Structure 1
Amino acid sequence: MAAIGVANGAMGSDIGIVETTSGKVRGTSDGGVRIFKGIPYGEPTGGAARFLPPKPYRARSAVIDAANYGPGCPQLGARGATGGEDCLVLNIWAPATDAAKRPVMVYLHGGGFRTGSGSGASSDGTHLARTEDVVVVSLNHRIGPLGYLYLGDILGGDYAVGNAGNLDLILALQWVRDNIAAFGGDPGCVTIYGVSGGGKKISHLLAMPAAKGLFHRAIVMSGALSTAIERPAATAYTERLLAKLGLDHSRARELLTMPAAPILEAVAALSKAGQDPEGGYGGGGGPQPLVDGVTLLQHPGAAVAAGASGAIPVMIGSTLDEPIAGYQGPEGLKQLEAMSAAEVHARLADGPFVKLGDRTDTILAHYRKVWPDLSPGALMVRVETAGSWRYLSNKLADAKASAKAAPTFVYVMTYAGGTTDGPRGAGHATDVPLVMGNYANLTEMSRTPWFADSPHVAEMSRIMGRTWASFARHGKPDNALLPRWPAYTAKKRETMLLDVKAHVVDNPFHDREAMGAA
């Protein structure tokens, strides 16, 4: 495997060898935190293994040098295709060297179902592990066509099992169950948390039978309740992809042997042409998880409402100004502030995040009463958030609460931060670097130093990290840095507004009254 070296004793900060089911691994340390990067949990997934369920990594005789991140799944970037198909790797940050059974927090990266990796600067677990005495795990898995292209109706046999990318996540969680005690973690106290596409993946794991028992709490951040697509839609998409590549059913097996780059380019071309699968609630374009009747039996929302993962406490939330992260730098903010009321109306009526149609005037009037002093552009951002990210968070919260088997906690992060250019807003995925304590680094989603010169940012990060770790430790987010946080009910819709001075509000913003029943 390209990124898995052999430890030769020449590394600095050698912390000794840990025995795992993947073999012996040797990591490094940083200020009392043991760090292990690029540990393989699954065999390479290229060639004959492409599109199939993953297989556990077979231990080799060499000691794995776990000093560097492993490859991400192949994906298109500014310089073409990057990554490799030996991407089933994970990273661990563990405090001290004792055998304490600490809470385990497994981070699932964003990027829809199409891009991203668990190796971003803002997802480094060193600070969170050190300050909150938890074991942090991040991982890479198959995404895009390599993770979610469905060939069951074309190739049959082993390919009847879909959702390979989600099965990778389950395999990683099995690895954590079997090995995390050797790193000081408690395999009986595992929390999965993720932003954007990571939150959508958690929605699916809550509904997948094979994930049962592998995690015990879940935190869904700005990515609730992606639906799945049905088999006919998944097969129709695969046929469009084959045609784009100049193939048909009789030549479909050529997908197993061709380089990944042409497949990725064909997916991008279909997305640009508006030929993505229907459904999925915006999974980032391209192939999506599907109800295959094997790994996923029904749509996640329906499964959760029916009691799937009912005993698992869940924390669900979003930020106040989700799409403002797309307006980067002073010029982007100026563009947003310069939008006219007519431009805002047209975008909200039939835009990329919401399509309000003939309800646009009524909904705008509702939120204008909530935020009377905002410019048209800033108000547009709040309405898009309410009608997309928060709408889906509300749906998942209602589904989870209706099962009445474990508590649900709902939040909206309102902390806006700021830069030398002025206030930025509480943008998409800006909660990740606050939770992880990496707010001085680039955020994964916005590529902007969002919190430069932000007042009280260290205090806000402490609140976020403590709250996430408290939930991981106890199944409740209550801690000394927050007021009491009641569990969510569909009747009162209790919601924590997370800020330096956090407080609970029942039914904030009255979204259902504006947008309709979730």
Structure 2
Amino acid sequence: MKKTKLLNIVMVMVISASLLAGCRNSTENQPIPSNPVNKETVDTAASQTDGVVKTTAGLLQGTNNNGIYTYLGVPYAEATERFVPAGEVKPWDGVRKADAYGAMSPQGAILGMPINNNETGTNNNCQNLNIWTPGTGDGKKRPVMVWLHGGGFSIGTANNAMNDGKNLSQSGDVVVVSVNHRLNVFGHMDLSAYGEKYKYSGNVGTTDIVAALKWIQDNIVAFGGDPSNVTVFGQSGGGAKVLSLMTSPYAKGLFQKGIVESGATETMGVTFSTKEESQTLTEHILKNLGITPDNLEKLQNVSNSALQEASTKALQDTANTYKIPAAFTNDYAMEWGPVIDGDYMPTNPVTKDGFADAGKDIPLLIGSNLNEWTTMVPSSAHTNMTEEEKNAFAQAYPNENASGAKNVDTFIRLPMLKIMSHKADQGGAPVYAYVFTWEDATRGSSHGAEIPFVFDNVSGNADLQKLAKTVSQAWINFAKTGTPSAEDLPKWEAYDRKNGATMILDTESELVHNHDKSLMKLLEPNYSY
């Protein structure tokens, strides 16, 4: 199946990441306005102390939404140039309103999806976050849960109603934060060969997230949060971002726990781009733009559309050179992501002997969904299963309809098994595994199906409401204690290679052991983890 046939399917995957709900307009490369207010407004806001919080850059006015204080578009850093780490936020006078979403990164392409170069609300200076909290200035130190959105490292936004943190914050008495940061060519173009200024350009999108975590360390107490109890969690590309933070020594100590939801493929999460691949990619981009090392600073003013067009062609040329396999097809493809530079990213998340050193002491909750892509991408389904394979599915998932055997996922499930197994091998903090099996009537247990349950943003019958409470509570308790648990779940054992302990999350949840080991081996006999 050619990549052009995947476009509508890809939109299903990234719908949660590409919605622009409430995203305010700005023009790419212009600084984000600091919401100046007149003297009368300042005086009124200052006297109205409810929801006013003091940050390192100035006072912020949030909104009270039925007991949950919400702060939108809060700047945590400022990017005055492309391809370099962002600097500190310029302080403002008076009280700044935080009642509108900030800019998101210019959007790129992923899995062959066309680029929307006319996207409004995008800016290289997109370093802002959103906060939901049950209380400010009340002396409490609540767990902090930092959400990293999906869309690979190429597209997406924190400004998404599906990931609204109000219900999660309210039900768990936690502070929820979602982060906008640079993506695609703006976040991961490796210019390190062209001078010290661009030393970290290949990982500048990750430096944004690290800057957000540093801002949280300095400011979250004012929002009722505990800077010594921070959990980063994300789905798909957001999960891969969690893994990148567990790999970088520059993020060490800024968070204590990680949650990865369907967040890995072989080249995004298990491994990332090599230095050689990333520098070849940059050479292709510069050649396509007619830019040489002598006039490199022209990159600061190249239009977004020209930059993205040059990047799209360069990604394909680089993939062809290094024979990087595409998802779901027999073609080659390269996606944007972190660069293993030996410094900011010393190694891949999965190493030969275990897991990245920086993540050794970080407990990890990790899992995937039963179907992921198979109900949306027919070429990824196991359409010609043998009787032995069908029987293995029935043994692995006795509560599932046998007719769904062909739609069991291996594309993400196997890389997740590799990550959790190598993390367990490391002998550090524990790993907790899950498979989410609740099925939508039309899409099965597809990619992203767990997100509304995690955020407790589910409408439906009593069983669905109960599952949402169970899943969100498990995530909350993991953030609080480092061990996932919920009232309706059995005791959640840590995973290792021997026990294969995995929680099946559904309207009837259960803990199983090595449940699909035989099935995975039959379906993908050459995959080793």
TM value normalised by structure 1: 0.83
Secondary structure of residue in 2 paired with 1:322: coil
* 1:33 alignment counterpart: 68
Is the contact made by 2:58 and 2:91 (CA closer than 8 Å) also made in structure 1? yes
The answer to whether structure 1 residue 135 and structure 2 residue 157 are counterparts is: no
CA distance in 2, matches of 1:135, 1:471: 14
Given that 1:145 and 1:286 are in contact with CA atoms closer than 8 Å, whether structure 2 keeps it comes out as: no
- Paired with 2:67 and 2:92, the residues of 1 have a C-alpha distance of 29
- Write the distance in 1 (CA, Å) between the matches of 2:62 and 2:134: 13
Partner of 1:355: none
* Pair 1:4–1:381, CA change in 2 (3 A): farther
CA distance in 1, matches of 2:333, 2:87: 26
Alignment partner of 1:89 is 2:121: no
Match of 2:228 among 184, 188, 200: 188
Aligned to 2:158: 118
Distance 2:222 2:324 in 1: 42
- Read off the aligned partner of 1:28 and give its amino acid letter: T
Measure the CA separation in 1 of the matches of 2:354 and 2:153. Answer: 20
Aligned letter for 2:97?
A: D
Q: What secondary structure is seen at the aligned counterpart in 1 of 2:358?
A: coil
CA distance in 1, matches of 2:32, 2:210: 23
Q: Is the 1:417–1:454 Cα contact (8 Å) retained in structure 2?
A: no
Which stretch has the larger CA shift, 19-28 or 182-191?
A: 19-28
Q: Distance in 1 between matches of 2:509 and 2:239?
A: 23
Query: 2:103 & 2:497 partners in 1: Cα distance?
Result: 43
- Provide, for residues 428-449 of structure 1, a one-character-per-residue CA deviation record: whole Å limited to 9, x for no partner: 1111111112235xxxxxxxxx
Tell me the distance in 2 between the aligned counterparts of 1:306 and 1:107. Answer: 21
Alignment of 1:24-423 (within 5 A): 24-45=59-80, 49-76=81-108, 78=116, 80-82=118-120, 83-97=122-136, 98-153=138-193, 155-161=194-200, 162-224=202-264, 225-271=269-315, 275=319, 285-302=334-351, 305=355, 307-324=357-374, 326=376, 366-371=388-393, 374=402, 378-382=404-408, 385-386=409-410, 388-418=411-441, 423=442
Once structures 1 and 2 are overlaid, which stretch shifts more, 172-181 or 19-28?
19-28
- Residues 456 and 204 (structure 1), Cα distance of their counterparts in 2 relative to 1, 3 Å cut: same
**Cα-to-partner distance string for 1:457-494 (whole Å, 9 max, x where unaligned):** 21111111111001000100022121111110111211
Quick check: 2:502–2:514 contact (8 Å CA) kept in 1?
yes
Unpaired runs of 5+ residues, structure 1, are 328-335, 337-343, 350-359, 441-452
**Structure 1 residues 308 and 79, CA, compared in 2 at 3 Å: closer, same or farther?**
closer
Counterpart-to-counterpart distance in 2, 1:437 and 1:221: 15
- Gaps of at least 5 residues in structure 2 are 1-30, 109-114, 395-400
Query: Equivalent residue of 2:221, what SS?
Result: helix
Correspondence for 1:2: 32
2:521 alignment partner AA: E
User: What amino acid maps onto 1:490 in structure 2?
Assistant: R
User: What does residue 331 of structure 1 align with?
Assistant: none
Shift of 1:42: 0.6
The structural deviation recorded for 1:156 is 1.7
Segment drifting more, 164-173 vs 504-513? 504-513
User: Residues 471 and 486 of structure 2 are in contact (CA less than 8 Å); yes or no, is this contact kept in structure 1?
Assistant: no
1:508 match: secondary structure: coil
Offset at residue 369 of structure 1 (A): 2.0
| CA displacement 1:276-324 (0-9 Å, x = unmatched) | 8765997995432111122011111129625432111100000111015
Shift in Å, 1:402: 0.7
Q: Do 1:3 and 1:38's aligned partners in 2 also have CA atoms closer than 8 Å? A: no
Q: Could you say if the C-alpha distance between residues 284 and 278 of structure 1 is closer, same or farther in structure 2, counting changes exceeding 3 Å? A: closer
Mapped contact 2:316–2:334 kept (Cα < 8 A):
no
What is the aligned counterpart of 1:425 among 435, 444, 464?
444
- Given residue 368 of structure 2, which amino acid in structure 1 is its aligned partner? S
Moved more, 299-308 or 19-28: 299-308
Shift of 1:79: 6.3
User: How many angstroms does 1:122 deviate by?
Assistant: 0.9
TM-score of the aligned structures, taking structure 2 as reference length: 0.81
Report what 2:16 is aligned to: none
Aligned equivalent of 1:340: none
RMSD of the alignment, in Å?
2.7
Task: Output the CA distance in 1 between the equivalents of 2:333 and 2:89.
Answer: 29
Percent identity, please: 33
- For residue 128 of structure 1, give the secondary structure of its aligned residue in structure 2: helix
**Contact preservation (8 Å) 2:473, 2:485:** no
Contact 1:14 1:29 in 2 (8 A): no
Using the TM superposition, name which of 292-301 and 113-122 deviates more: 292-301
Instruction: Report deviation, 1:365.
Output: 5.4
Q: Answer with 82-91 or 286-295: which moved more.
A: 286-295
Q: Is the 8 A contact 1:321 1:425 kept in 2?
A: yes
Give the superposition deviation at 1:245.
2.3
Aligned-residue offset at 1:374: 4.9
Looking at structure 1, the residues matched to 386 and 105 of structure 2 have their Cα atoms a distance apart, in angstroms, of 41
Q: How far is the alpha carbon of 1:258 from its aligned partner?
A: 1.5
Q: 1:217 to 1:181 in 2, by over 3 A?
A: same
Give, as a single letter, the amino acid of the residue that structure 1 aligns with 2:300. Answer: L
Task: Please give the per-residue CA displacement for 1:38-95, whole angstroms capped at 9, x wherever unaligned.
Answer: 01001134xxx21112222131224221001101001155563441122000110000
* Alpha-carbon distance in 2 for matches of 1:26, 1:325: 45
Q: CA deviation at 1:138?
A: 0.2
In structure 2, distance between residues paired with 1:15 and 1:430: 36
**Aligned equivalents of 1:213 and 1:14: distance in 2?**
33
SS in 2 for 1:163: helix
> Secondary structure of 1:100's match?
coil
Of 202-211 and 250-259, deviating more is: 250-259
Residue deviations 1:10-47 (CA, integer Å, cap 9, x gap): 89x983421111321111110100000101001134xx
* CA distance 1:364–1:68, change in 2 (3 Å): farther
Say whether the 8 Å CA contact 2:103–2:125 is kept in structure 1.
yes
Do the aligned partners of 1:160 and 1:292 also contact (CA within 8 Å) in 2? no
2:50 pairs, out of 2, 8, 15, with 15
Deviation at residue 274 of structure 1 after TM alignment? 7.8
Q: Which amino acid aligns with 1:417?
A: D
Are the aligned partners of 1:207 and 1:304 in contact in 2 as well (CA < 8 Å)?
Answer: no
- With 79-88 and 458-467 compared, the bigger mean Cα shift is at 79-88
Counterpart contact for 1:23–1:59, Cα < 8 Å: yes
Question: 3-state SS of the aligned residue for 2:99?
Answer: coil
